[in-house]
Amino acid sequence: MTTERAFAACAPGLEPLLAGELAALGLRARATPGGAELEGEDAVALACLGSRLADAVSLRLYEGPERGLDAARAEARRRYGPGARPVARVRGGLATLSLDAAGAPLYKRGWRQRVGAAPLRESVAAALLRFGGYDPARPLLDPMCGSGTLPIEAALLAAGRPPGAGRAFAFERWPGTDARRVAAIRARLTAGRRPPPAVIQASDRNAGALRLAQKNAAAAGVAEAIRFARIDAAQAAPPPGPGLCAVNPPFGVRIDEGAAEAWKALAALLPRLAGWTLAVVAPDRGFERLLPARQAAVLPFVDGGLACKLLRYQL
């Protein structure tokens, strides 16, 4: 396979985290509005199989003046068949023609049983873990786990299981894709499989949410890797640390009840997390003023049209 150029998309604001993840996969990645431009051998396969932060990946077929688009479309039909549906974009006189390589949203990992009240998108959960500097050798705690997205993403990462390992992607059906080469990339990315080395603990005060999280974890094959407990965050007992507390308190927009109370419960947990890192995904509504901690970093982003931020604290 020759060098490929591709584009990986993410929620606006998360681009630097996505570019960092793709660079760690061995690709040349440059953050650009809405995602990252990629270049490298097997860029499409590596991004589809290995990226937890990307929502979509497309192969760049053409980049140049707008007048070149028709010829690029004809070449795409010749190469990928009449059914190929490349997408053209023109911005500031520069045109691109790209072909969706994944076939389905990448954040749909395949384990979600039923959508909970306000589940976090898997790719945003992965972004929070990266932002929080998640180290699988250290414990992880999510004291408001809802349907379990954060601990499940953490467990899959800690277990060395790439997000695309068990999925089939559109690019695999393209003429010219070398199935053996893709199989070798899958094998390489899954070579580090192991049981997660440290405790991953997830709790919620809601019994229904917890049941759903347990079902999701079982479907993802990581039920054994996560300790679940039904408990209010204010009373949660963290495992011996320090580690990362990653949490997505109620947004107060989609589920309005008790958002401030949830943040107060989180505040009550903080004295038991001395030395830990706290990473929070939150709406841009200032609830963090309820936390008795000094913010170390903030990354604003947009989730489904809603202004949000990732927050990090060193406790």
Ligand X SMILES: C[S@@+](CC[C@H](N)C(=O)[O-])C[C@H]1O[C@@H](n2cnc3c(N)ncnc32)[C@H](O)[C@@H]1O
Which member of 43, 95, 120, 128 binds ligand X (CB under 6 A)?
Answer: 120
Residue among 4 and 122 whose Cβ is closer to ligand X:
122
The 8-class DSSP code of residue 119 comes to P
Residue among 116 and 162 whose Cβ is closer to ligand X:
116
CA distance 203 to 43: 37
Residue reference for tokens 């650009």: 32
Which member of 10, 156, 262, 310 binds ligand X (CB under 6 A)?
Answer: 262
- Cβ 184 to ligand X, closest distance in Å? 34
Non-local CB neighbours of 252 within 8 Å, separated by 6+ positions? 259, 260, 283, 285, 287
140 part of the interface to ligand X, by CB under 6 A = no
- Cβ 177 to ligand X, closest distance in Å? 33
CA 150 from chain centre, in angstroms, equals 9
Which member of 95, 102, 265, 315 binds ligand X (CB under 6 A)?
Answer: 265
Residue among 21 and 204 whose Cβ is closer to ligand X:
204
> Are 47 and 62 a contacting pair, CB within 8 Å?
no
144 part of the interface to ligand X, by CB under 6 A = yes
Q: How far apart, in Å, do the first and last CA atoms of the chain sit?
A: 47
> Are 94 and 63 a contacting pair, CB within 8 Å?
yes
Which span (127-135, 165-173, 245-253, 288-296) binds ligand X, by CB under 6 A?
A: 245-253
204 part of the interface to ligand X, by CB under 6 A = yes
Which member of 44, 248, 280, 301 binds ligand X (CB under 6 A)?
Answer: 248
CA distance 237 to 181: 47
The pattern of x and - marking residues 212 through 241 that bind ligand X according to CB under 6 A reads --------------------xxx-------
Q: Tell me the sheet residues that pair with 94.
A: 65, 91
CA distance 181 to 243: 38
Which residues are at the interface with ligand X (CB under 6 A)?
Answer: 116, 118-120, 143-144, 146-147, 149-150, 204-206, 209, 232-234, 248-251, 258, 262, 265
